[in-house]
Amino acid sequence: MKLGRESMQAIDNDLFYAMHDVARLLRTRFDQRARSFGMTRAQALILSRLQRQPGLSQNEMAAICEVEPITVARLVDRLEAAGMVKRCADPNDRRIRRLKLLPAAEPVLKWIGEYKLEVYNELAHGIPAADWATAEKVLLQIKQKLTAEASRPVASMGE
């Protein structure tokens, strides 16, 4: 679907800004709640990712979080000191440290799950299920396209 100038102005004023604003507002709200639980959003993200993808390396986690490996190392240092995460040697490459969740992370992960459900219920309230499903489907398709694009090599200007 190609868009003309008027349609593009509408997107600039609505869709992209709305997506950005919604993401920012969700992050801000989570930050406030996480602080009351003694967590940062970055620490919670690491725990959540490890729950979904056990055994990630610090470098893989840095790529997912879009931060430098040293940033993840510092966050993992704090989580390790709190007894929530353990660094384990990779069985195939001793240079790689894999991350493992420990039982102390369970209460935080439970809280994150409850928080997500609370926010979902609040935001979905009053929105028809079909509209919510369509919005989710479209956002996942956009994410898939952007993820595929990010994995392709960038063409130089002369190509």
Residue 39 has pLDDT above 90, yes or no: no
Is 100 in contact with 67 (CB distance < 8 Å)? no
Query: CA–CA separation, 43 vs 5, rounded Å?
Result: 42
Model pLDDT for residues 50-101, shown as the tens digit of each residue: 999 999 999 999 998 889 999 999 999 999 999 999 999 999 998 899 999 9
Separation in Å, CA 82 to CA 26, 73, 88, 104, 145: 26, 14, 16, 8, 38
Question: 37-151: which CATH topology?
Answer: Arc Repressor Mutant, subunit A (1.10.10)
pLDDT at 16: 84
Is 88 in contact with 98 (CB distance < 8 Å)? yes
CA atoms within 13 A on the CB side of 109: 16
Q: Which of 5-19, 102-116, 121-135 has the lowest mean pLDDT?
A: 5-19
